[in-house]
Structure 1
Amino acid sequence: MKTKSIFIALSLLAFSSVYSQKLIKAIEAQNFEKVASLIEKGENVNKKQGEYELTPLFAASGTGNLKLVELLINKGANVNTQLKSKSTALHMVAQEGFISIADLLLKNKANPNLKDINGWTPLTFAARNGKLDIVKMLVENEAEVDAIAADHSTPFCIAVSRNYLDIAEFLAQKGANINNLDSDNETPIMYCAQAGNVKGVQLLLQYKPDLTIKNKDGKTALQIAKEKGNAEVIKLLENI
């Protein structure tokens, strides 16, 4: 997995200065009384704002303020509304690790399998950012373990590439495909071979990965390790 450019910094969307709408400003300021007052006066809790089609619920989720999120849901905010990027509030809280808000959203029927424009689910964002508790919660709520993104990566692939091995192990135990091929025809163990990630290789070997797979350059994990001069990884792979 050579490119991480598909990652969208969701937090940048939540507080962009382009939004002038009163409700969004009150949410940004985390002014609970003002938000409640504006809603009572008729502000639409589901109105999309600006270029990114920001919603009040997404903005509130970005603050990490559980009371604000709860207020908006109680006033009819749609938990599955997607921004222009196709991101939802659950994507945001999965990225940031706001577990109480994630729990609230899921209890109010948030869909854990909606994908953004890059094919990333909330589970992908949680795996990418090392949020193990969120990962576990999402899987317990029927998140697809092997959700495939536009670049053919999965949450497991991303966890391995970011060296979040606790998340990788949890997902492997839940049935993640350890031989998933990304857009470069590379498998997770190839990421470890390239990076010299000994612990990653040791973990993956427990799940018996296919070491005969070749990437788009025709190289196996062992050949990649040799090319990079990663001696410890070479030793592990040669002693299978």
Structure 2
Amino acid sequence: MEPTHPAEDLSLTQQPSTPEFGDPGEEAPDGSDTVVLSLFPCTPEPGNTEPDAGTSSPQGSSLKHSTTLTNRQRGNEVSALPATLDSLSIHQLAAQGELSQLKEHLRKGDNLINKPDERGFTPLIWASAFGEIETVRFLLEWGADPHILAKERESALSLASTGGYTDIVGLLLERDVDINTYDWNGGTPLLYAVRGNHVKCVEALLARGADLTTEADSGYTPMDLAVALGYRKVQQVIENHILKLFQSNLVPADAE
């Protein structure tokens, strides 16, 4: 998907809260249908050196991660459901967690389980992006392929990591997905989890062998990002992981 923001826009944008509900891919009231995730660190606000998980900094980055996530991902609450769920696509139903209607769609056949939308997002990718764990679990049991990558190499794992959905990350890792998938926006699941200050998600990814040396396009490793952003808990998790790796690799000296 092409970003709608100019290339020189280096900030992680935050859309104003509105009570409207946007379907996946629907254009927002301001004309934007994307959110921008940066992997280049920026200076935290004074007196708030460790933001809450999922918060974003108001300043800059040289990297944009364009997705189709809409009002719900931006933190807006759903005030009204569409007049009829029958008009929603399988991707929209997956994103909203409308499990009963999703099941009805799949029972119709037509090989919909791994059907991509115009951006290459499958129902599983949408459900993972919105944190719909029961929908993710159902889709996996039904036969959804967790290894599929969207057009810009976005994966269900990378989008679940972006949102800090640790339980979903765990479900996907059980399916042996590539934990170090590097997308065209310049990030891996671990880099996105660190950038979002998602401590538990970082722990889960490291425990399964996520690569700590991979750099974002901005040149920052996961530890670089954590330090630059002042995410002390994430730093501690990474440091503890490095220490465990070091200790496990120690070989006792041969007795003379």
Residue of 35, 49, 58 corresponding to 2:91 = 58
TM-score, normalised by the number of residues in structure 1: 0.66
Q: Does the CA-based 8 Å contact 1:28-1:60 persist in structure 2?
A: no
Show the counterpart of 1:199.
233
Name the structure where helix makes up a greater proportion of residues. 1
How far 1:81 moved relative to its partner? 1.2
Work out the CA distance in 2 between the residues paired with 1:150 and 1:207. Answer: 27
Work out the CA distance in 2 between the residues paired with 1:70 and 1:86. Answer: 21
How far 1:153 moved relative to its partner? 1.3
Q: Does 1:160 align with 2:219?
A: no
Work out the CA distance in 1 between the residues paired with 2:143 and 2:136. Answer: 11
Residue of 181, 191, 212 corresponding to 1:178 = 212
Q: Secondary structure at the match of 2:119?
A: coil
Residue of 97, 104, 117 corresponding to 1:71 = 104
Change (3 A) 1:61 1:29: farther
**What is the alpha-carbon root mean square deviation over aligned residues?**
2.2
What do residues 26-46 of structure 1 show as CA deviations (whole Å, max 9, x unaligned)?
x94444xxx4xx9xxxxxxxx
Q: Secondary structure at the match of 1:208?
A: helix
Show the counterpart of 2:139.
105
What do residues 75-127 of structure 1 show as CA deviations (whole Å, max 9, x unaligned)?
11511111111111111110111111111111122111212232210111111
Q: Which of the pair has more CA radius of gyration?
A: 1
Show the counterpart of 2:123.
89
- Residues 91-240 of structure 1 aligned to structure 2 (within 5 Å): 91-208=125-242
TM-score, normalised by the number of residues in structure 2: 0.62
What do residues 142-171 of structure 1 show as CA deviations (whole Å, max 9, x unaligned)?
222111111331101110111101001111
Q: Which runs of 5+ in 1 are unaligned?
A: 13-26, 39-54, 210-240
Show the counterpart of 1:8.
67
Return the structure number with greater relative CO, CA threshold 8 A, min gap 6: 2
Q: Secondary structure at the match of 1:10?
A: coil
Work out the CA distance in 1 between the residues paired with 2:163 and 2:66. Answer: 11
Show the counterpart of 2:7.
none
Percent identity between matched residues is: 21
What do residues 199-228 of structure 1 show as CA deviations (whole Å, max 9, x unaligned)?
22211112329xxxxxxxxxxxxxxxxxxx
Q: Which runs of 5+ in 2 are unaligned?
A: 1-38, 41-60, 72-80, 244-256
Work out the CA distance in 2 between the residues paired with 1:144 and 1:11. Answer: 26
Tell me the matched-pair count.
174
Which consecutive aligned stretches of 4+ in structure 1 deviate over 6 angstroms post-superposition?
Answer: none
